Amino acid sequence: MFEIEAFDDKVTCVKTATEMAGNAIMWVYSYLIDKTLIDAGCGNAKEELWAYAREVGVDRVYVTHTHEDHVGTCALLSQQATIFARENQIPILKDPPEKNEFFAYVWGSIPPVSKIEVMPDDFSVGDMTFEVITLPGHSPDLMVGFYEKDRGWLFSSDAVPLPSRKRIAMDCENVVQIVSTMEKILDLNLEVLFDAHRGPVVDPQDYIQTRIDFLKDVRRESKALHDKGRTIDEIVSHFSFEAPWYMEMTEGRFSIEHLIESLIFDEP
């Protein structure tokens, strides 16, 4: 699935998803500013995004991180645009890992990208200058975001969890670091948070703080239970978090246990 929505006269939301029963499983937002694209969507909508990119003349793509829902069209886009990624992300894009059947269905595959440039510390689009800032915690390839200070804009990718009450985590996530990153974002006093799954969030302070408060509360309670000798399974049962329908199909990539273990044992 593919949709275009204008945010304002500068930013266009470019939405990609896999269709199931006529609906998007989960929208992924890329953002077009002039001819610069932030992230490249999921592979299952790559033909639609590629056609749109040719129509509007995309000539630069900046990658936030290498999860499959953000880089699925990079290989096609590299035929006409320069792909920019962090130096440590480049080997992953050139030789992407295979995903299991579930993730291939939900997002699609990641075709190898042969032509990639190292991302600079900042870049300009028209009269806007974007600082590349690290947003660690969600992805081991050290996810980045793009901060336009004068407008109070941050293109934050997956730095702020979509659910206000995050109940599962990926095996690669440091959830305590995610909280620290959200606090760093909060200090920016943003006007707009350009999220990769929610879309643009205007005046996002309460939106971010709600997620920080919830995870801090779960961490505090989890650590207290662990100190009393409770096992991870017992702590999971204590919270009564329900696993989503697809959990087993992720083959351990997502779980409630990952969330609790990270909150107890990880540090920023």
Cα 247 to Cα 18, 29, 97, 150, 244: the distances in Å are 18, 23, 20, 42, 6
If we measure between CA atoms, which residue out of 202, 259, 268, 200 comes closest to residue 232?
259
Per residue in 43-82, pLDDT (tens digit) is: 999 999 999 999 999 999 999 999 999 999 999 999 999 9
Per the DSSP assignment, residues forming a β-bridge with 153 are: 148, 192
Per residue in 209-257, pLDDT (tens digit) is: 999 999 999 999 999 999 999 999 999 999 999 899 999 999 999 999 9
Q: Are 28 and 69 within 8 A, CB to CB?
A: yes
- Interatomic CA distance for residues 54 and 34, integer angstroms: 13
Q: Are 196 and 245 within 8 A, CB to CB?
A: no
How many DSSP H helices and E strands does the chain contain?
8, 17
Tokens of 180: 């620290």
Tokens of 79: 């035929």
Identify the DSSP state of 170: E
238-242 long-range Cβ contacts below 8 angstroms, 24+ apart: 239/167, 241/167, 241/168, 242/167
Evaluate if residue 157 carries a pLDDT over 90.
yes
Q: How many residues does the chain have?
A: 268
pLDDT band, very low/low/confident/very high, at 99 (cuts 50, 70, 90):
confident
The conformational region for residue 34 under phi > 0 = left, psi -120 to 50 = alpha, else beta, is left
Enter the pTM of the model. Answer: 0.96
Per residue in 19-51, pLDDT (tens digit) is: 999 999 999 999 999 999 999 999 999 999 999
